[in-house]
Amino acid sequence: MIKPGFIRAPYDIDYYQAANTLLEQFPIIANVISLTRNDRSDIRENVIVINKGKNQGILPQMKFKMYRVENPIRDFHNFKVLGLQRTQVAEVSVFELKDEHTACKVDKVESGCFIQINDSVESIIE
């Protein structure tokens, strides 16, 4: 607890915790713009490309959950869209970071799901 009249020095701030709190409240959201194979690797991992990069705050160690937006949740009395139904498709992590786009390695695909162009990805905190 900070006592009245006591000023916290800037080095007292936990910048890591502050950044995590911001990412939890305002996650980075992007879309899949390309499905590709990585031919440079012996493992030939599945790789996707998203439409955000370094300039939009993506960092090399980031991980994302991938969602598919499905049916709108609609109020049939006034036809207003109340929300969107989302299904988790996969988990991905940054593989190659560029200024305006990012290649991500597919870590896990949910059972019975597949990845499509325009699926949404949302940053997660671990």
Q: Within a domain: residue 1?
A: no
Please give the tally of structural domains in the chain. 1
Instruction: Work out the average pLDDT over 41-49.
Output: 66
Instruction: Work out the average pLDDT over 26-34.
Output: 89
- How does residue 67 score in pLDDT terms, banded at 50, 70 and 90? very high
Determine the Cα–Cα distance for residues 90 and 81; give it in Å rounded to an integer.
26
Q: Within a domain: residue 46?
A: yes
Q: Is the pLDDT of residue 6 over 80?
A: no
Range of the domain at 85: 26-124
Q: Within a domain: residue 6?
A: no
Q: Region of 88 please: left (phi>0), alpha (psi -120 to 50) or beta.
A: beta
CA distances from 124 to 12, 14, 73 (A): 26, 19, 25
Own/partner pairs for 36-44, CB < 8 Å, 24+ apart? Answer: 36/103, 38/95, 38/103, 38/105
Q: Within a domain: residue 35?
A: yes
Q: Within a domain: residue 16?
A: no
Determine the Cα–Cα distance for residues 120 and 59; give it in Å rounded to an integer.
18
Structure tokens at 115: 């990845």
Q: Is the pTM of this model over 0.85?
A: no
97: amino acid identity, one letter: L
If one compares 124 and 2, the residue with the highest pLDDT of the two is 124
Instruction: Work out the average pLDDT over 6-34.
Output: 75
pLDDT tens across 91-124, in order?
Answer: 999 999 999 999 999 999 998 888 999 999 999 8
Determine the Cα–Cα distance for residues 117 and 81; give it in Å rounded to an integer.
24
Tell me, what CATH number does 89's domain have? 2.40.10.340
Q: Is the pLDDT of residue 90 over 50?
A: yes
Q: Within a domain: residue 8?
A: no
